[in-house]
Amino acid sequence: MILDASALNWETMRVLGIDCGGEYTGFGIVEMDSAAKLLCVACGAIKLSPRDPLARRLAQIYEQLGTLIRLHQPDEVAIEEIFYALNVKSALKLGQVRGVAMLAAASAGLEVAEYSPLTIKSSVVGYGRAEKQQVQHMVTRLLRLTEPPEPMDASDALAIAICHLHTAGTIRRQKAVAL
């Protein structure tokens, strides 16, 4: 079996992880180098005012994500899949936020990968039912941060980006073995 070294080695890959929410939409930009070292490029949250009309909040998300994409030039975007929600109204609003986030990525020509909460937690913590604080702790350790990312939405977005980077690395290794 011959391995294709080009499938195993890449210079860097930069991913924008987005944690959609009605009040806060978290973002985290993580880069992985050829040695599989992770680096936090930026993180934070887009704070939305519940007093603003929904259309204005959606426009704010679109504009700010577009600015982040232009500024940090990610290679790909990762987002959490829709999960079951008890409140239908909240689920619909979350779906609208997700749609706008996906539109911002697609408008910039970026691919969007979607991951379930179980997959994200398993990738980062090793346990799919991990608590938010466990995810935040592991994100802090994996990225060698001096303090936990705040707000929690930023930590979740970083976890989504890390999950995608781990998945992309695994896929590249599998392709290399298949060649």
Please give the pLDDT value at position 179. Answer: 66
- Burial classification of residue 1, based on how many CB atoms lie within 10 Å of its CB (0-12 exposed, 13-18 middle, 19 or more buried): exposed
Active-site residue among 4, 19, 52, 111? 19
Active-site residue 23, yes or no? no
**Count of structural domains within the chain:** 1
Model confidence pLDDT, tens digit, residues 124-144: 999 988 999 999 999 999 999
Q: Is 153 a catalytic residue?
A: yes
List Cβ neighbours of 6 (8 Å cut-off, separation of 6 or more): none
Long-range contacts of 141-145 (CB under 8 A, 24+ apart): 142/38, 143/30, 143/38, 143/39, 143/40, 145/40
pLDDT at residue number 171: 65
What is the residue whose two structure tokens read 């986030």?
101
> What is the per-residue pLDDT for 159?
98
Q: The domain containing residue 87 runs over which residues?
A: 5-178
Which of the residues 4, 33, 63, 80 is marked catalytic? 80
Q: What is the pLDDT of residue 93?
A: 87
User: Taking the alpha carbons of 53, 59, 63, 69 in that order, is the dihedral positive or negative?
Assistant: positive
Looking at 31, 76, 153, 156, which residue is catalytic?
A: 153
Check which CATH number belongs to the domain holding 106 and give it. 3.30.420.10
- State mean pLDDT over 57-70: 98
Q: Output the CA torsion sign for 80, 123, 72, 106.
A: negative
Q: How confident is the model at residue 11 (pLDDT cuts 50, 70, 90)?
A: confident
**pLDDT range class, residue 10, cuts 50, 70, 90:** low
pLDDT at 4: 43
Q: What is the pLDDT of residue 2?
A: 43
pLDDT in tens, 22-31: 899 999 999 9
Amino acid identity for residue 60 in this structure: Q
Among 22-36, 77-91, 105-119, 139-153, the range scoring the smallest mean pLDDT is 77-91
Mean pLDDT over each residue of the chain, to the nearest integer: 90
